[in-house]
Amino acid sequence: MTHSLLLKLTPLFAGFLTGKRRKWQAACFFLPAGSLYGALLCSGLFFCSLSPAQSLLDIRISIEAHNQPLEQVLEEIEQAGGFRFSYNYQLIPVHKKVSIRAENQPVRSVLAQLLPPSRYQYEVYGQHLIISRVRTRSADASQASSPPIPVQVAPPPVQLSGVVRHARTGAPLAGVRIELAPDVQTFTDEDGSFQLSLPGGVSSLRLRATHPDFEPEVRVFPLPLSAPLQLQLHPLHLSSIPPEVAPPVKVVQWDSINPVEDIFVVKMLVKEELLEEKIDREEFLYRPYQFTLLPPLGTNGLKTGRTFNSFSFNLLVGYAAGLNGLEVGGGLNVVRYHANGLQLAGVGNVVGGRSSGIQFGGVLNVNTGTVNGFQLAGLHNFADSIQGGQVSAVYNLVRGQMVGVQFGGIFNMATGPLRGLSLAGFGNLSTRRVEGGQLSLGFNAAKSLKGFQLSPAANVTTRELRGVQAGLVNVAGEVRGFQLGLVNIADTVQWGAPLGLLNFVRNGYNRFELGASESFYVQAGLKMGVHRFYNLFALSFHPRPRRWALGYGFGSMFSIHPKLSLNTDLLSQYVFEQPRFPLRLNLLNQAHLGLSFHLSRRHSLFAGPTFNLHLSEKLPDGQPISRLAPYQLIDFSAHNQTHRLHLSAWIGGRIGVRL
C-alpha cells in the first residue's frame, strides 16, 4: 500500500528496473513502468580452499521474504552473510516463488527451508558457497531383483590440484575462479591453491582461470599430470599502488557485472554500435589515459567500450569499459563495468559494475552495482547496494542493502536492509529492516526498526519496533521500547510503553469503569494504553447541586495476585458549576490508589482512597464557586487586586466496577 501511494505522489518519475542475478537494468521516460521502484529511480531530464563447511553454513542471519523468486532470496542471503553463492542455473529452480522468515538462524537451516536437503549439497571454497545436486544411487533392492547385467567399470576419477600466483610479484591469489565446465568449477583459497575432481578416462583438459582484476588465463593440459599445476595471472590494468601493498579486493564474478546498455540516457548519448558490442574477457584493453569529446570521438576510438583507463577527461560525454584512477567530465561519465577512484561530472556519472571511491555529479549519480564509497549529487543518487553514503539536494535511492548514511534534501528511500542513518528534509522510507536511525522534518517509515525514528510529524514502523519513536504521531506494530508523541498507536507492547496524550494499543490495557465518590455520585472513566502506563479520561456528574466535570489523567496497574491488582491514578478535572458555566477557575486534582478484585479476565471490582486538592476562585460574597469537600484538612485562601483563590484538601474514596 505504501508503494502504491509513493507511485501516485511522484508523477514526474517513471522507470523500469528488472532483476536477474546481478543483471540489473535501469531505464527512464519511455520505458514500460512495470516495476515498483523504477518510478522512484528516474527524475528530471535523464531519469532520475576446500575448507570446513561450518565456516559459512553456520553463520547466523536474519531474513524475511514473501513470494519472491528464489534467485532474489539467495542474493539477500549473500548480503546478510557476507559471502557469495555459485551454482548452475539449470539445476536450481531460480524462478520459483518462495517465502521464508528466519531470525538469527544458521545459513544451513535457512537453505534447508528453501532447497530440499535430500537433493542438494553444499561445499565451501573461500568466501564462496557452491550449491550442487546430490548424485543418487539406485536402491540395492532394485539391483537385487534384477538379473545381473554386465557393466563396464568406469576408470577412477582424476584429482586435479594447483596454485595460482600474481605474474609480477609471485604472491598467491585468492578468489580466482577455476572453471573446466559450467558445472565443474571452484575458487582458490587464501594461499592460491585449488582442487578439483574430474571423471576418469579424460586425456586432456581445458582450464580457464578468471578474476575481475586480472587478465584471464586459458590453458590446455595433457593428462595425467606429473605435478600440481602452476598458473600465473597478469593484472588487467596498471596501478600506482604496488600489488603487494594494495588493499584486498572483494571477489566479484565477471558474469555478475551489470552493463549500462539499457539505461535511457546512455542509449541516447552513446552510439548504438558501441553499446551492442559483445566483449569477451580476453579482449579488454588498457590505456593509461584518454580524452573524449563524444564517443567514439576520442583517443580510445571505436574500442572505447572495451578499454580500461587510469585517467579520463571527457568534454561532453565519456564512455569506457572501466576506470582505475580519476575521471573528469563536463557532461556525463559512463563506465560500462567497474570504476575505482574519483569521478567528477558536470551532469552525472553512470557505472554498471562495482564502484569504489567517490562519485560527484552536478545532477545525478547512477550505479547499478555495489558502491563502496560516497555518491554526491545535486539532484539524485541511485545505487544497487552501498557501503558508504549518499548526499543529494533532492532524492537518494538504494535498491539493495544500505550500510552507511543517506542525506537527502527532500527524500531518502532504501528498498533493502538499512544499517546506518537516513536524514531528509521531508521523509525517509525503508521497505525493509532498519538498524540505526531515521530523522526528518516530515515523516519516517520502515518495515521494522532497531534504533530510532525522530520527526515533528509522523513515524511509522509497520512491524517490530526495538527502540524509540518521537513525533506528533507514532505508529508501530510490536513495540519493544518507547513511543513519545501526542498520539501513539501500536498493536502490541512487549516491553516499554507509549507515552503521550492519546495511546491506542490494540492488545493493551483498555478498560471502561463506572464508579462513585463523595464529590460525584456518578463517575465514568476510560483507560487506554498498557499496564505500565495508560491514559485516563473521566466524566463525572452530581445531581444536587447540579454539577459535572471533565478530566484527564494517567496511571499504572500492578498485578499482585492472579485475583488482585493495584491501580495508581492521577486525575485533574475541570468542574462546571451551573449556572456559573464555565468562566472561573474550578479544578479538582485527585490521586487515587485502588485495589481491584478480578471477577474474570475483563471484569473486576475496585475500591480505594483518594487524596483531593480543590482549587477555585471565590465569588464576590467570599464563598468558593463549588463546595466539594465534605470536610477540610486544608483550608487556605489568597487574593490580589483581581483574583481571590481558595484551596481545600481532604481524603475521600472511590468505588466502582471495571469492564
Contact 386, 403 (CB under 8 A): yes
Residue 336 has pLDDT above 60, yes or no: yes
Residue 345 has pLDDT above 60, yes or no: yes
pLDDT of amino acid 255: 40
pLDDT of amino acid 554: 92
Q: Mean pLDDT, to the nearest integer, of 159-164?
A: 87
Residue 217 has pLDDT above 70, yes or no: yes
Q: Mean pLDDT, to the nearest integer, of 642-653?
A: 87
Residue for cell digits 588465463? Answer: 217
Residue 244 has pLDDT above 60, yes or no: no
User: Of 427, 434, 428, whose CA–CA distance to 450 is shortest?
Assistant: 434
Q: What is the pTM of this model?
A: 0.57
Cβ neighbours, 10 Å, residue 518: 17
Rounded Cα–Cα distance for residues 445 and 179 (Å): 45
pLDDT of amino acid 81: 85
Q: Mean pLDDT, to the nearest integer, of 122-149?
A: 61
User: Of 258, 263, 311, whose CA–CA distance to 289 is shortest?
Assistant: 311
CATH of domain 51-133: 3.55.50.30
Residue-wise pLDDT for 356-402, tens only, equals: 999 999 999 999 888 999 999 999 999 988 999 999 999 999 988 89
Cβ neighbours, 10 Å, residue 203: 7
So where are the chain's domains?
A: 2-42, 51-133, 159-233, 260-503, 508-658
Q: How many CA atoms lie within 13 A of 283 on its CB side?
A: 9
Contact 340, 323 (CB under 8 A): yes
Residue 301 has pLDDT above 50, yes or no: yes
Q: Mean pLDDT, to the nearest integer, of 195-219?
A: 77
Helix then strand then coil, in percent of the chain rounded to 5, is: 10, 55, 35
Residue-wise pLDDT for 278-289, tens only, equals: 554 445 678 888
Fold (CATH) for 159-233:
Immunoglobulin-like (2.60.40)
42: confidence class by pLDDT, cuts 50, 70, 90: very low
| 293 grid coordinates | 569529446
Amino acid found at 53 = A
pLDDT of amino acid 325: 92
14: confidence class by pLDDT, cuts 50, 70, 90: very low
